[in-house]
Structure formats: structure tokens, C-alpha cells
């Protein structure tokens, strides 16, 4: 079992990915691993290599079949989905009768969440070995879905690309991914698994586009979020006073994670992540 420190590193390596498919914070990763002048590390080369791979390469490295699909939403966002059509060790043959499942990540995350722990532990691999046709989603704005038919996510003068929230993800992204997945697989219904924000966007879809309820067989909610009225977490309470100001500020915000620089900042983020892993 990997330690929380290693998991935090791998999460950050994917979350902080920028324009290239290899994370840009290579220097930080090397420092974190403790590589000295002789080239020795306090962690295995295998873990170090994984931290520098994107999701498709990570899946291929461990011998699983991988398909990359592009999905275009009604409002022009281009989303990337990663498909593991069958297992490696069990249920390892293509089968059009396999049940289909979409797995959706949480806030500031990506499809990496469901493969980063490796075979036998990561949900994506477990589902594939159990006989599912696995589709890993990526919401607009994350590393794998930073494209649009007309808008530029890197335009500092026009921030229209970033004018969205989980509301649009539920209204546009999720329906588009469901329709595309059903079209490719030839199925009429599928299973859905959501983590954190991945549960919120499902309920948004159910409320705003109830016709999609008929396309869902089961929905599994991991760390579901709906209401915060009775939340006692001091972290949230200390930010209540500045909530309105934060909302106004966020209107001009872009995707901040990929442009954050500095080892100290990344290190602090890793320590925060470790708190809830």
C-alpha cells in the first residue's frame, strides 16, 4: 500500500499539469523524491515514472487497453474521455455486451484519480477487471478538456472560456458524455459513478435535464455534496464572512492550478491534499 505522501505527489503531478502532457513541475518532483547527486531516490523508479505520465500513458504502461475520445458539448467545449473497454487479467476480451459505466471526478481533479493508484487498487482498473466497459470523464477546464471550438483558454483579455461552474458541467458536459458513450457502445442505458463534484453535476443534470434519468441504470455517489447548511468544518466556517467577495473575485478567475509556480506553493498544496486522502 502506498503512503499518503506518495499518493499526494501523484495527485499533484496530474493536477498541476500545464500545456504539455508531461507535468511541468519535474524539478519539484525530483526534489520531493529526494534524488541526490548520485541519482538515488528514497522512492522506487516506478513511482517516479508514474508521476510524470499522463492518464493514457499511465493506463498503457500497466497493460490495459486504452481509447481516447473527444466529445463536443452543445456550447462548444471539447472534452476528452478515457475508455478502458475491458480488463487485463480477467474479462480481458472485447465484448459488446459488457455493462457500461461512466466515472466522473471531483473538483480540481481529472480522470487520473481513477487510475493513479495502480492495478488492483484504482477504481478504473477494478471495474475493468470486474467486466465493465469503463469510461473516465473529464469536465471542462481541466488538463484534458481545456479546448473549445471558438474560445481560447489562454486568452488573458477574453475570459469567456472560464465563465462556467459545476452548473454548466451538469447541464452540458455530462449529457454530452452520456450521449456519446451510449452512441459508441450501442447501449440505451449505463451506470454512473461520481466523486464529490461528480455527484453534484449528476444531480444538476437530473434537475435541469430530467430526460437523462431514463438513461441511467444506477448512480453511485462517493463523497456526495448537496447542501452545506449543517456543515461543521471550521475551514468552511472561517470563509463564510468573505463568501460574497470570493464569488465576485471568482468571476474573473481562470484555471489557476496550471499557472501556479514555486516549489513552496506546490509543497503546501501537497500537505493540504494529504489531509483528506
CA distance 15 to 109: 6
CA distance 236 to 238: 6
Q: What is the CATH number of the domain that holds 80?
A: 3.40.50.1820
**What's this model's pTM, rounded to 2 decimal places?**
0.77
22-41 pLDDT per residue, tens? 654 556 666 666 555 555 55
In a domain, 242, yes or no: no
In a domain, 19, yes or no: no
In a domain, 22, yes or no: no
What grid cell was written down for 141? 477546464
CA distance 82 to 147: 16
For the chain, the first-to-last Cα distance in angstroms comes to 13
In a domain, 146, yes or no: yes
Answer yes or no: is pLDDT of 246 > 90.
Answer: no
115-132 pLDDT per residue, tens? 988 999 999 999 999 999
Q: Which domain holds residue 183?
A: 55-226
CA distance 271 to 266: 9
**Percent of the chain, pLDDT > 90?**
60
In a domain, 276, yes or no: no
pLDDT value for 53: 87
Counting the structural domains of the chain, the total is: 1
In a domain, 134, yes or no: yes
In terms of C-beta distances under 8 Å and separation of at least 24 residues, what long-range contacts does 2-8 make, across chains too? 2/47, 2/117, 4/274, 4/277, 5/270, 5/274, 6/43, 6/47, 7/116, 7/117, 7/274, 7/277, 8/270, 8/271, 8/273, 8/274, 8/277
For 78, phi and psi rounded to 5 degrees? -105, 110
Rounded mean pLDDT of the chain? 82
34-78 pLDDT per residue, tens? 555 555 555 556 777 887 889 999 999 999 999 999 999 999 999
- Structure confidence at residue 80 as a pLDDT band (50, 70, 90): very high
CA distance 98 to 239: 46
142-195 pLDDT per residue, tens? 999 999 999 999 999 999 999 999 999 999 999 999 999 999 999 999 999 999
| Residue 52 exposure: Cα atoms within 13 Å on the Cβ side | 13
pLDDT value for 151: 97
pLDDT value for 181: 99
In a domain, 255, yes or no: no
In a domain, 94, yes or no: yes
Amino acid at each position: 500500500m502506498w503512503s499518503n505522501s506518495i499518493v499526494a505527489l501523484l495527485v499533484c503531478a496530474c493536477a498541476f499539469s500545464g500545456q504539455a502532457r508531461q507535468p511541468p513541475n519535474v524539478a519539484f518532483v525530483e526534489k520531493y523524491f529526494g534524488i541526490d547527486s548520485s541519482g538515488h531516490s528514497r522512492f522506487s523508479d516506478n513511482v517516479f515514472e508514474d508521476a510524470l505520465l499522463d492518464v493514457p500513458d499511465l493506463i498503457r504502461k500497466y497493460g490495459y487497453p486504452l481509447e481516447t475520445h473527444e466529445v463536443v458539448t452543445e456550447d462548444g467545449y471539447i472534452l476528452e474521455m478515457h475508455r478502458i473497454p475491458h480488463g487485463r487479467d480477467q474479462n480481458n476480451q472485447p465484448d459488446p455486451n459488457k455493462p457500461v459505466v461512466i466515472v466522473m471526478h471531483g473538483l480540481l481533479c481529472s480522470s487520473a484519480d481513477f487510475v493513479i493508484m495502480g492495478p488492483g487498487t484504482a477504481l478504473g482498473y477494478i471495474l475493468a477487471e470486474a467486466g465493465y466497459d469503463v469510461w473516465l470523464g473529464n469536465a471542462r477546464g481541466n488538463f484534458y478538456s481545456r479546448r473549445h471550438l471558438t474560445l481560447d483558454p489562454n486568452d488573458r483579455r477574453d475570459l469567456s472560456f472560464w465563465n462556467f461552474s459545476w452548473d454548466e458541467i451538469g447541464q452540458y458536459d455530462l449529457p454530452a458524455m452520456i450521449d456519446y458513450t451510449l452512441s459508441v457502445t450501442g447501449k440505451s442505458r449505463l451506470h454512473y459513478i461520481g466523486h464529490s463534484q461528480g455527484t453534484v453535476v449528476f444531480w444538476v443534470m437530473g434537475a435541469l435535464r430530467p430526460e437523462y434519468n431514463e438513461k441511467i441504470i444506477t448512480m453511485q455517489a462517493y463523497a456526495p455534496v448537496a447542501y452545506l447548511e449543517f456543515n461543521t468544518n471550521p475551514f468552511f466556517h472561517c470563509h463564510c464572512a468573505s463568501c460574497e467577495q470570493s464569488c465576485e473575485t471568482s468571476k474573473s478567475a481562470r484555471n489557476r492550478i496550471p499557472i501556479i509556480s514555486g516549489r513552496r506553493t506546490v509543497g503546501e498544496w501537497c500537505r493540504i491534499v494529504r489531509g483528506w486522502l
